């Protein structure tokens, strides 16, 4: 069993450092591993000794809401350290449903979880979420310099090993000490924040100053006439519009054949090789820029999107499967296609799925001739219609772009 001075967090960290197993068990006397939902204790191996701690014992880790986190939540976060935040939250909800008696694991926000895992792996000694051990040197907690235990009443019992005891007045000063956070918590708070828009505001202050030479008369004149214009400032570059393809395996248009179809006007079936994560296709839109083609970026998912990227999306290809939109800004397809042009590509002679028709009139349903082996007689004679289908798709996209405010040198700030 655990000694009165055993600190759960230090014991957990020591077990990770020595690669010792941490086993959830159904009782303090058992050594058989069980599911966390059925466990009442955790068994540690501390220098060859068997140490047992209850899963509901509180640790020194304090959440941003001011609550001490139990050992069950710490163990659950550690064993699920390699999964994404959505997967972690889903697993936590499932475990909470399995736990009886109103018990449940704490769902760590991103920054809390990051700090906990880094501390357990030994990446650092200081974190704003872990209450310090009182007395002695803070960095020697694992060597037995000081111990902080959580009592049954939620209070903190302070003890000190070695010579002497901690002065009560000094302990009171430590309790009133304000812990300084790291750069993530100070700059970003609980959730990560995107500061990319600050670059646009700072751009006008970061351009080169005039050299003051006598030969730079034109630049000096421009600045004197309009001081707000920066010297040699280049016109703002219009961002590339984005087209989202369907990641479904049943989609007729994938990353492997989209460029040949949208740029070359010829349909070929997608292959099974590893596709690129991003493609670029070019198209001349005479109403916007008759002299220079516009580059369109093709991707299959918005996983790497910044919030402002959604203003650049001009078309979404769909097969009618609603799971495609789970990670989109608008998860409801009817709402999505109020903002973005939709495109469904199917085989000629087959009706679009009922779900596509339910999405609304902003989804263009197109059909291409069914693919036949080029070695068969007459296989190439029907492929001339592919370009006609491609032109109808581009026409719908261009019409939507003009309506949303796309211009030669500007893109819409909101769609």
The helix (H) or strand (E) run that includes residue 179 is none
Q: How far is CA 175 from the centre of its chain?
A: 36
Does residue 244 contact residue 301 with C-beta atoms inside 8 Å?
yes
- Residue 185: per-residue pLDDT: 60
* Angle subtended at Cα 17 by Cα 4 and Cα 148, rounded to the nearest 5 degrees: 25
The helix (H) or strand (E) run that includes residue 336 is helix 333-339
Domain residue ranges of the chain, discontinuous segments joined by +: 8-188, 242-404
pLDDT, one tens digit per residue, over 319-367 is: 999 999 999 999 999 999 999 999 999 999 899 999 999 998 889 999 9
pLDDT, one tens digit per residue, over 100-109 is: 766 788 989 8
* Angle subtended at Cα 376 by Cα 372 and Cα 379, rounded to the nearest 5 degrees: 50
Helices of type H across 240-291? 258-264
- Residue 48: per-residue pLDDT: 72
What CATH number has the domain spanning 242-404? Answer: 3.40.50.11990
Bridge partners (DSSP) of residue 52 are 43
Nearest in space to 25 (alpha carbons), one of 8, 38, 12, 7: 38
| Residue range 44-56: mean pLDDT, rounded | 84
Predicted confidence band of residue 31 (pLDDT cuts 50, 70, 90): confident
- Which phi and psi angles does 295 have, rounded to 5°? -90, 130
Cα Dmax for the chain: 97
Token readout for 356 is 């596509």
Q: At 314, is the secondary structure helix, strand, or coil?
A: strand
């Amino acid at each position: 069993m655990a000694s009165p001075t055993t600190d759960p967090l230090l014991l957990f960290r020591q077990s990770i450092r020595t690669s010792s197993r941490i086993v959830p068990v159904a009782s303090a006397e058992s050594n058989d591993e069980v599911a966390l939902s059925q466990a009442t204790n955790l068994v540690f191996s501390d220098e060859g000794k068997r140490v047992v701690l209850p899963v509901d014992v509180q640790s020194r880790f304090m959440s941003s809401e001011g609550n001490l986190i139990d050992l069950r939540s710490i163990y659950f976060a550690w064993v699920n350290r390699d999964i994404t935040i959505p997967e972690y939250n889903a697993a936590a909800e499932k475990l909470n449903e399995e736990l009886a008696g109103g018990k449940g694991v704490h769902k760590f926000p991103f920054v809390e979880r990051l700090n906990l895992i880094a501390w357990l792996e030994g990446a650092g000694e200081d974190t704003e979420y872990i209450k310090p051990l009182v007395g002695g040197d803070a960095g020697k907690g694992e060597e037995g310099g000081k111990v902080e235990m959580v009592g049954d009443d939620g209070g903190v019992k302070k003890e000190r090993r070695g010579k002497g005891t901690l002065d009560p007045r000094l302990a009171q000063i430590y309790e009133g000490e304000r812990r300084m956070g790291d750069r993530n918590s100070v700059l970003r708070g609980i959730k990560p924040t995107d500061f990319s828009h600050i670059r646009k505001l700072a751009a006008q202050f970061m351009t080169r100053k005039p050299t003051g030479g006598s030969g730079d008369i034109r630049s000096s004149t421009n600045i004197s006439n309009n001081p707000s214009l920066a010297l040699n400032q280049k016109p703002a570059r219009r961002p590339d519009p984005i087209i989202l393809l369907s990641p479904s395996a049943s989609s007729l248009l994938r990353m492997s054949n989209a460029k040949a179809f949208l740029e070359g006007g010829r349909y070929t079936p997608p292959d099974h090789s590893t596709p690129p994560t991003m493609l670029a296709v070019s198209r001349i839109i005479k109403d916007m820029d008759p002299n220079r083609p516009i580059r369109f970026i093709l991707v299959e998912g918005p996983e790497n999107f910044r919030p402002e990227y959604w203003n650049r999306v001009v078309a979404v290809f769909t097969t009618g499967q609603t799971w495609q939109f789970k990670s989109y800004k608008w998860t409801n397809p009817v709402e999505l296609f109020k903002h973005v042009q939709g495109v469904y590509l199917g085989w000629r002679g087959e009706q679009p799925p009922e779900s596509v028709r339910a999405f609304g009139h902003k989804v263009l349903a197109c059909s291409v001739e069914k693919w036949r082996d080029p070695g068969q007689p007459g296989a190439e004679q029907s492929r001339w219609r592919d370009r006609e289908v491609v032109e109808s798709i581009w026409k719908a996209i261009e019409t939507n772009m003009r309506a949303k405010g796309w211009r030669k040198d500007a893109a819409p700030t909101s769609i």
